[in-house]
Structure 1
Amino acid sequence: MTRLSVNLNKIAVLRNSRGGDAPDVGRAAKVCLDAGAHGITVHPRPDGRHIRTPDVHALAALTASRGIEFNIEGNPFAPPRPGYPGLLALCEQARPAQVTLVPDGDGQLTSDHGFDFARDAAALSPLVDRFKQLGCRVSLFADAGSDVEAARAIGADRIELYTGPWADAFAAGVPQTVLPAFVATTERARRAGLGVNAGHDLSQTNLAAFLDALGRVDEVSIGHALIDEALYDGLDTTVRRYVRIVDRTSTG
């Protein structure tokens, strides 16, 4: 079964643009969960541009109270700074079911590439072990075509495929130019004993075709497109539509 985890970063972006508490991240999370979302994802960045440390604590309590999976994304190498204790410390406090390690820096508008596992293995391996000691399932952000066998050797439980190239190719009408790499990487990850997640620019338009082609994907994390669509159709309705897509492709 493919599970839908809703990324709430964009709700926090809108709130932070004005100050105060509106829109309320916790209320948005409850709407998503009531509509059938299987989990909640956040990516708290050190610069506090969207999700912030108090949000993480509140969402950890909410998801724990409902028995729902909480996924925290972030760069494990980013040092602590005022308002941000560092990803490991944040996970020590929040104890998410899953942590997704992403190689992004402050200057990036959004995550746009996976790890170079050969280059980063020595630095990642002890960190992966520390996250697993907290009871977190560890997923590593990965490009299609990357050395996912190395991700398994590092100690990861899953990879999360960076699907930006898929979304771009689908929008351009040439999905077959990138799809074979995603399919092959998924197959290699499965053979290596890794679970497979996916995320970035997935939408109602391109999600079903992606899942149909890859077979079974464990989880999709969707935020930007989902919030965009919800502006017009409502958050509850939009989440329910995504749940129908993942349910159909999981059982079809």
Structure 2
Amino acid sequence: MSPTGSVRTALSVNVNKVALVRNTRHLGIPSVTRAASLCLQAGAHGITVHPRPDERHIRRHDVFDLAELLQAWPDREYNIEGNPFHNLMDVAREVKARGLPLHQLTFVPDSVGQFTSDHGWRFPDDADRLRPLIAEAQALGVRVSLFMDAEPEQMAAAQAVGADRVELYTEPYAAAHTQGGEALPQQLERFAAAAQAALDAGLAVNAGHDLNRDNLTPFLRTVPGVSEVSIGHALIADALELGYAATVRAYLACIAAAQR
């Protein structure tokens, strides 16, 4: 059995970059919902979006269009990422008010104009601000995952504020995998320790940021209990060459390889 144990790692496809390309023109192509449909048809376990306040990629209507699409896929999950102190909670409230599916909110501490996510929440600094919003999301029937750096000592604090999961910010691992050398085993050890600390605290573990076809399998072979990986940039880039269906199947094969 692999270090991930019996946990089946789900693949959630982040379609932000599809929206980014679409937004460069006013033709409605490529279609975000079509991309999501093709990924789901190929076996993706869920769809992720990160609607930022400036709508640089995912726009407000995309969130609801995708939620409506996912009504036809009751065995798949919808994950919306974002900063709960910006636009995330308003979007989540409206999705639920419309009776549309929403399974997970991933709270990310981005600034409004931030280029991409690059750090996690800090405790105890963020505890008092996050606690009531986590409770509100859960009252809506939505699971909450906190975007976190791979620091084992922070995991119990994430559970203490009420989170259901943590999403480990994997860019440091991805960079080490690219560079090679001694940094790679050190990063793998760090992420494995953080994941185990989260599991020991009663949290489920997600992971995401710069995961790709090269680094996904060794990560999942080493890091225990990963319930979900959210992959966008690399997957959409691969899809430009391979197509959505072949790309999703390739990532699912990477996941399966880790569990052999």
TM-score between both structures, scaled by the size of structure 2: 0.92
Provide the rounded CA distance (Å) in 1 between the counterparts of 2:61 and 2:123: 32
Provide the rounded CA distance (Å) in 2 between the counterparts of 1:34 and 1:13: 22
Provide the rounded CA distance (Å) in 2 between the counterparts of 1:106 and 1:149: 28
Provide the rounded CA distance (Å) in 1 between the counterparts of 2:121 and 2:232: 21
Is 1:195 the counterpart of 2:204? The answer is yes
Is 1:47 the counterpart of 2:54? The answer is yes
Is 1:151 the counterpart of 2:158? The answer is yes
Is 1:90 the counterpart of 2:91? The answer is yes
Q: Which moved more, 1:241-250 or 1:111-120?
A: 241-250
SS in 2 for 1:132: helix
The match for 2:3 is none
Among 141, 146, 154, which residue is 1:140 paired with?
Answer: 146
Q: Which moved more, 1:169-178 or 1:200-209?
A: 169-178
Among 51, 64, 75, which residue is 2:83 paired with?
Answer: 75
**Alignment of structure 1 residues 1-252 onto 2, 5 Å:** 1-67=8-74, 68-78=76-86, 86-95=87-96, 96-145=102-151, 147-174=154-181, 175-250=184-259, 252=260
- Tell me the CA shift for residue 249 of structure 1: 2.1
Aligned CA-pair RMSD: 1.0
The match for 2:4 is none
Provide the rounded CA distance (Å) in 2 between the counterparts of 1:110 and 1:70: 21
The match for 1:83 is none
- Tell me the CA shift for residue 90 of structure 1: 0.8
- Tell me the CA shift for residue 234 of structure 1: 1.3
Provide the rounded CA distance (Å) in 2 between the counterparts of 1:18 and 1:45: 19
| Mapped contact 2:168–2:207 kept (Cα < 8 A) | yes
SS in 2 for 1:218: strand
1:177-216 deviation line (CA, Å, top 9, x unaligned): 3111101110000000000000000000100000000132
SS in 2 for 1:66: coil
- Tell me the CA shift for residue 220 of structure 1: 0.1
Structure 1 stretches lacking a partner, 5+ long: 79-85
Provide the rounded CA distance (Å) in 2 between the counterparts of 1:92 and 1:247: 35
| Mapped contact 2:106–2:146 kept (Cα < 8 A) | yes
1:97-141 deviation line (CA, Å, top 9, x unaligned): 000000001221100110012100000000100010110000000
| Mapped contact 2:195–2:225 kept (Cα < 8 A) | no
